[in-house]
Amino acid sequence: MTNPAAALHAILSGWLQPPKTSIYEHRTLHGDAAAANVRIHRQAMVLISEIEQVVGGMDLTPAREESYARGITKWTKWVLAFPHNWLAAQNEGYETVKDSDALDMLDLLAQHLDFMMPQVTEIERASYLETIELLLAAITADDTLPREMKQHLYMLIAHARQCIEEHELMGDFALKSAVERLAAAAAQAAEKTQNPKAWEVFKNRFVWPVTTNILGAVPTTMLAIEAAKSATGG
């Protein structure tokens, strides 16, 4: 699992800028590089959301909770360049032009998370894609599933693929959620089918996602199952 604090630290370190330089120019938000650099801003916001979820799951004293809350606020302002706009040059008093304290806190959190967070490898992501292909084959071969259930599965498959293929942008928590919801919906479809033979290969080779062990997945998985039932009228 990618360390969101380390990834955000790398992004913000690249945005340390000299005074009287506009963010628009310093972060190259124009020309051919604009699309890629705007994408980095979206990635940074995803990482901040992941950090907030990780910190929220820690057993912290109130003082440390407040400290991380202040850090998350600072990092968010840094990404969004609040309260300054994108085109104006920043003055020397702008708190995140050279905010080493905010970076130091982020670096310490990154080191702490290195020991907490399992890694989702490229091999595992490739395995998820292979499982999706098996699921597609099962859905295609099964003419007994309700049309609404098939449409719901196709939607979940498309989202899971996006989270896997754009992992660096979407983040680990989006991947975890997408794979869990797809797994729950697939399990329900395999149970509801009137053509179990169509599902034999998928059921024999399917392995429950490794990511379900991350950050209290049992409640999340149960919610995913209930969401799948609601969406398909189960």
Q: Is the pLDDT of residue 102 over 70?
A: yes
The per-residue pLDDT for range 5-31, each reduced to its tens digit, is 888 998 998 888 777 778 888 888 888
> Under 8 Å CB-to-CB from 206, ≥6 apart: which residues?
131, 134, 186
How does pLDDT run across 56-88, given as a tens digit for each residue?
888 888 888 898 999 999 899 888 887 666 666
Give tens-digit pLDDT for 164-184: 888 877 777 778 888 888 999
The sign one gets for the Cα dihedral 94, 100, 101, 104 is positive
Place of tokens 């196709």: 154
Tell me the three-class secondary structure of 34-103, residue by residue.
Answer: HHHHHHHHHHHHHHHHHHHHHHHCCCCCHHHHHHHHHHHHHHHHHHHCCCCCCCCECCCCCCCCCCHHHH
Phi and psi, residue 174, nearest 5°: -65, -40
